[in-house]
Amino acid sequence: KKQKWWGEQSRFRVLTQTPRGRGTQAAQTAVLRTGACPGFTAAHLLLHLEVRSQVGRQRETPLYLQNRYQLYLAQADAQPTEAETAVWNQVNAVLEEAQTILAELQSYTGAGLEIREAIQNPNDLQLQEKAWNAVCPLVAKLKRFYEFSLRLENALRSLLEALTSPPYAPTQHLEREQALAKQFAEILHFTLTFDEFKMTNPAIQNDFSYYRRTLSRNRINNLQLDAESDVNNEMANRMSLFYAEATPMLKTLSNATTKFVSENKTLPIEDTTDCLSTMACVCRVMLETPEYRSRFTNTETLLFCMRVMVGVIILYDHVHPVGAFAKTSKIDMKGCIKVLKDQPSTSTEGLLNALRYTTRHLNDDTTSKQIRALLQ
């Protein structure tokens, strides 16, 4: 019996990704108890079991979800409860506009031809005017994108407040407020998609650079520009900082999450990081488990889960003191990276680059050589 018990325990340890070196009796008992519910199968247990020492005692924190919750990221019909309605409505208005923003960004072609002709013929006033008239509406569009990032930042803050507020633990919030958790996932999906489009469209930087140069030149010459009232020098400076980032939307959310933690000093940082790590684990298990992968009806759902996973990893890495790559991290980084690398490179290279270049702790001494090698 003892041999069988330990065999089962070992099997569940692999399934739940319990960190090695933490195989305490409490952990072993909790794992088996978690797996002893009626009708239990290995697929029901989605997240790892963590046993933490707090105030000199062992506290069990089982981060797992039942079948009714396991696919919340891929469900489109999560309806808000009465308590969630106010925040849900605020965020939903932002998410509805997000679809328009993505459509406009995806169709953004730029004014490259007009700009080249104007630069090659600096004394041709007609070509200068043609280039300016072509660039101004595009810069107005870029301004809308920037202003939308501020609205997205406010929406994220509202979600963080709702999903981390006492007295409930983060995992309880995610179970109780699945509609808000779904919105959080949708924000991250939008953010990674926006940044992928931006990174592959050099016309954005070219158009905006030309606009700023022309703005400065005409200001020196005391010429008034019709578009200056819409995108003046001060606004142009703020937009320039935004678009200078390789992943501007992700940078905005990372800064917002860091600011949220720093401004809520009475809120344990674990409440925020546990929320993020839980979502990362859900995505990873959904992607690497054939039973769940088989439920994805299209490629976009697969991309949705991958983008959400990468998004919460990056937020976690910005907020947590030692980041997502340390051995003490609650995110299985090796598993997450492997899931991404198992997909076609055309759909994941941008996500892998986001992990390479927009995280804070990848190059820390606490990051294992194996993880660094996986991201090379």
Q: How confident is the model at residue 9 (pLDDT cuts 50, 70, 90)?
A: very low
Whether the pLDDT of residue 178 is over 80: the answer is yes
d(CA 176, CA 192): 26
For residue range 193-246, list pLDDT tens digits in order. Answer: 999 999 999 999 999 999 998 888 766 555 555 544 478 888 989 999 999 998
Mean pLDDT within 293-318: 87
The pLDDT of residue 93 is: 94
For residue range 268-284, list pLDDT tens digits in order. Answer: 888 888 889 988 988 89
The pLDDT of residue 298 is: 77
**Which region among 9-13, 33-37, 329-333 has the lowest average model confidence (pLDDT)?**
33-37
The chain-wide mean pLDDT, for the chain, equals 77
Give the H or E element holding residue 60: strand 57-62
d(CA 356, CA 131): 37
d(CA 45, CA 34): 8
Whether the pLDDT of residue 135 is over 80: the answer is yes
